[in-house]
Amino acid sequence: MLQANNPAFLMYKRVVEGLNRAFTAVACLCVALIGVIVVGATLARYFGSPVIWAHDYAQIAFTYAVFLSLAPALQAGQHVTVELFEGLVPKAIRPYLNRVAAIACIIFGAIFLWYLWQLTERAFQDNRLANAAVAIPLKWILVAGPVGAMQFLLTAILRFFEDDPQAQQHT
């Protein structure tokens, strides 16, 4: 098993966490952009000059915000966890539950990445446009999916190797 003080592991951790910080910043900018677009479009419509593209760009920004925030949320422990059955698990096994959860995240992330990759690859191959008021190639909207899913998978792998069941047994 990888040691937490292994130089390769520490570099991997720095890269994954650095990317998660960058993804968080971009996701926050997307959310701010959504707010500006929605308020601007509402005001424009109120004053009799509706903005046709506002809804489309707000949805695209939301898509990026969701997919780019998957991995940072996992790193921060903000995803939904099931603690309902923790009390039913024998105490000797409880320290390993985080590893089991990390394995489940890795499996989910790999399947999700595969599916999103297939979907995005098709959009890149046929170069179709999004069903929107503005002509936007669908591939540039969908690309957020595999990027976010890949980072989610890398973060899940990091969490798997960070959790030390032996240290948790003594606490």
pLDDT tens per residue, range 38-97: 999 999 999 999 999 999 999 999 999 999 999 999 999 877 666 777 788 888 888 888
User: CA 129 → CA 37, 54, 115, 139, 166, distances in Å?
Assistant: 22, 17, 20, 8, 52
pLDDT digits (tens, 9 = 90+) for 33-49: 999 999 999 999 999 99
pTM (two decimals) = 0.88
Name the residue with higher pLDDT: 135 or 142.
142
Place 4 in a pLDDT band, splitting at 50, 70 and 90: low
Cβ-Cβ contacts under 8 Å for 120 (sequence gap 6 or more): 139, 142, 143, 145, 146
Distance (Å, rounded) from C-alpha 118 to C-alpha 109?
A: 14
Closest by alpha carbon to 155, among 15, 7, 27, 29? 15
Q: What is the pLDDT of residue 170?
A: 47
Residue 142 structure tokens: 């969908």
Q: What is the pLDDT of residue 92?
A: 87
- Half-sphere exposure (Cβ direction) of 135: Cα atoms closer than 13 Å: 2
Q: What is the mean pLDDT of residues 155-167?
A: 80
